[in-house]
Amino acid sequence: MIITDGRLGGLRAEDFADGTGWTPKPEGLCRGEVCVPAPGVLRNDGTVDVVAAAGRLGMPVLHDDEHAVTVIGPATATGHTLSTAAAADPELIDRDRRPFRLSSLHGRKVLLVAWASY
């Protein structure tokens, strides 16, 4: 969802629902049958505290003051966003039965072949 008119502090509940798929209700933020408790997110005047709502749903929020633009990312199933794209560094056993880490090949082309008997 992209908010371009500086309404971060007072976005209408309908606009939040249209942009995110989550409907602000007194009992929380709801999508279909699923509701996430979010006290204080829906204000008495019908506007939504966008930063608080995004926080309850695990949505990342980015704001650019210079251009008065705010971007809200999608909700995550776990409530956590991916903070790094670093892959795991598994320890394997080479053909001489010595421990070997894939990270030791950093910067080289690698062909990884896996085989299973089942």
pLDDT tens-digit readout, 17-35? 998 899 998 888 998 888 8
pLDDT given at position 24 = 92
Pinpoint the alpha helices (H) of 1-118: 13-20, 50-57
pLDDT tier for residue 79 given thresholds of 50, 70 and 90: low
CA 56 to chain centre: 11
What is the C-alpha separation between 99 and 25, in angstroms, rounded? Answer: 55
Q: Where are the domains of the chain?
A: 2-72
The whole model's pTM is what?
A: 0.59
What is the C-alpha separation between 107 and 105, in angstroms, rounded? Answer: 6
pLDDT tier for residue 97 given thresholds of 50, 70 and 90: very high
Cβ count within 10 A of residue 61: 16
CB 21 within 8 A of CB 30: no
pLDDT tier for residue 78 given thresholds of 50, 70 and 90: low
CA distances from 18 to 7, 40, 71, 79, 112 (A): 15, 20, 14, 20, 45
pLDDT in tens, 33-49: 888 898 888 988 988 98
pLDDT given at position 26 = 85
